[in-house]
Structure 1
Amino acid sequence: MTKSVLVTGGSRGIGRAICLKMASLGYYILVNYKGNEAAAQETLAQVRALGADGELLQFDVQHKEQVKAVLGGWIEQQKEKVIEILVNNAGIKDDTLMLWMKDEQWENVVDTSLGGFFYVTREVLNGMLLRKSGRIVNVVSLSGLKGMAGQTNYSAAKAGVIGATKALAQEIGKRGVTVNAVAPGFIQTDMTEGLNEKELKTMIPVQRFGQPEEVAHAVAFLASPESGYITGVVLSVNGGLYT
């Protein structure tokens, strides 16, 4: 059996870094993306350049019908590949003060992070439980731990995934499946491009923004076979900004 890793939102940023890290460890990489096929193809090309292989799975994690059709269909058809590791990384932000937040800004952000976690994990879980082995790693955020002004939607979504991580870990630990989360702080990606890095890094004890590869390293640690006695934890990757 080929052991596979599914990374949602795997086409760029932290998701791409996770795909490449897991590829370097010899896994078959399933790169999920919503719309940016060029970026997803580039991730897959880089995976192959590392001597690994993989394929693209296009679906929007917040739409349960798409998740069921595409991901559920893939799982049903595969006899030689199993999803050993699931990384729920897909997320969007749409910041504004709550006073001015529109319904769709709340719904899209919460449905992508929290709804996506539920629909994708539910699809993959049965196989893991039957095999009595698996790793689920959820990419959350500093915002979900401490809350950030202008991000009530994003903070609520990520805090929800943290709560779900802890609950699911208790449900399935006895079946050899662990569930953990990684909470990045300020990481140099598209999502932080508009921020004033020079000003913000003075608040960070290590005095810099993090790199996507540093988050990927933490994900790989929690996804490793040796991390079987770690479950229900949230590992912060934030340079000491919030502990």
Structure 2
Amino acid sequence: MIEDFGSQRLKGRVALVSGGLRGIGLACVERFLAEGAEVVLTDLSSPEDAADVLARLGQAASYVQADVTSEEDWSKVLAAVTERHGRLHVLVNNAGIDLTGPVATTSLEGWRRIMAINVDGVFLGTRTFVPLLAQSGGEVKGGASIVNVSSIMGLVGMSEVSGYNASKGAVRLFTKSIALEFAEKKMPIRANSLHPGFVVTPLLQEGFQRWVDKGVAAKAQDLVDLMSSRTPIGRLAEPSELAGAVFFLASSDSSYVTGAELVVDGGWTAQ
């Protein structure tokens, strides 16, 4: 199998990825680095706990510990990006959590937490970096790029994931609104949302394990097999397959793409 990574299509650009230590976020970091970008990643882990990942990523990657629900932490990230690079061309708002269960037993605390991380985090990341993205966007064809990671659950409903559905639907429409705002103001920033289907990530595995603990299935692999059988392409996605889609939205190949939904779900929502 031939994979054309490392083409240096992002050489000279700076990218920021939230939730960058694992899953889709880490895959995006790795792809951006392979394409020549310098990358700042954020997550909740301490720098000490992130050290092994950072050592593997190399000198072009740097890390800032940050909670995406904290305005203070976003200010800290902005200061770090500005000091190290002085510019930003790509922002990937990826950090997120899930929430499952019947609406009647969903706590207000749980609802507010998923909204804070999945929605407030996207808003705060965007608001914090719009001035720097606008300043840097004129350097590249198509301008700077914001990629907000939503989900197919931001497009279609599913039983007992109402909080997750609501949060990812909010990300979808927030992205369309800011895309129009930037275009109308002639700001060199594009904004698009990514809508993954079922992807083999720690978040998915943890979610499946919770369903097992509730007695829905005997083991997590049974749920993987079930979701694979319901996906037209017949399997779950690998994080690198989503990173390829994010790379497209981050690159000048998508210079005429803004306010769009890029669905990468193996055909799930085509049914």
**Corresponding residue for residue 53 of structure 1:** 60
**Corresponding residue for residue 139 of structure 1:** 149
1:161 equivalent among 165, 171, 174:
171
Structure 1: distance between partners of 2:13 and 2:93: 17
Larger-Rg structure:
2
1:192 equivalent among 194, 204, 208:
204
CA RMSD between the two structures: 1.8
Structure 2: distance between partners of 1:100 and 1:11: 32
Deviations along 1:6-57, one digit per CA (max 9) or x if unpaired, are: 0000000111100000000111111100136566334323322xxx611111
**Corresponding residue for residue 234 of structure 2:** 207
Deviations along 1:175-221, one digit per CA (max 9) or x if unpaired, are: 22110111101101112222501112111110000000000000000
Structure-2 change in CA distance of 1:90 and 1:227 (3 Å): same
Structure-2 change in CA distance of 1:233 and 1:43 (3 Å): farther
Query: Residue 47 of structure 2 contacts residue 64 of structure 2 at CA under 8 Å; is this kept in 1?
Result: no
**Greater shift in the superposed pair: 203-212 or 30-39:** 30-39
Structure-2 change in CA distance of 1:142 and 1:38 (3 Å): farther
Structure-2 change in CA distance of 1:2 and 1:39 (3 Å): farther
Structure 2: distance between partners of 1:124 and 1:6: 10
Query: Offset at 1:75?
Result: 4.2
**Corresponding residue for residue 6 of structure 2:** none
Structure-2 change in CA distance of 1:210 and 1:155 (3 Å): same
Query: Residue 19 of structure 2 contacts residue 25 of structure 2 at CA under 8 Å; is this kept in 1?
Result: yes
Query: Offset at 1:66?
Result: 1.9
Structure 2 unaligned residues grouped into runs of 5+: 1-10, 209-219
Aligned pairs (5 A) from 1:30-49: 30-35=40-45, 37=47, 40-48=50-58
**Greater shift in the superposed pair: 123-132 or 37-46:** 37-46
Structure-2 change in CA distance of 1:38 and 1:241 (3 Å): farther
Aligned pairs (5 A) from 1:85-164: 85-131=90-136, 132=138, 133-164=143-174
Structure 1: distance between partners of 2:47 and 2:66: 11
Residue 208 of structure 2 is aligned to residue 181 of structure 1: no
Structure 2: distance between partners of 1:149 and 1:90: 23
Structure 2: distance between partners of 1:94 and 1:40: 25
What TM-score results when the alignment is normalised by the length of structure 1?
0.92
Letter in 1 for 2:68: V
Structure 2: distance between partners of 1:161 and 1:208: 26
Query: Residue 46 of structure 2 contacts residue 65 of structure 2 at CA under 8 Å; is this kept in 1?
Result: no
**Corresponding residue for residue 265 of structure 2:** 238
- The alignment-based identity, stated in percent, is 30
Structure 1 unaligned residues grouped into runs of 5+: none
Residue 87 of structure 2 is aligned to residue 77 of structure 1: no
Structure 1: distance between partners of 2:53 and 2:264: 23
Letter in 2 for 1:86: L
**Greater shift in the superposed pair: 120-129 or 215-224:** 120-129
- Aligned to 2:88, the other structure's residue is in SS state strand
Structure 1: distance between partners of 2:132 and 2:120: 20
Query: Residue 84 of structure 1 contacts residue 135 of structure 1 at CA under 8 Å; is this kept in 2?
Result: yes
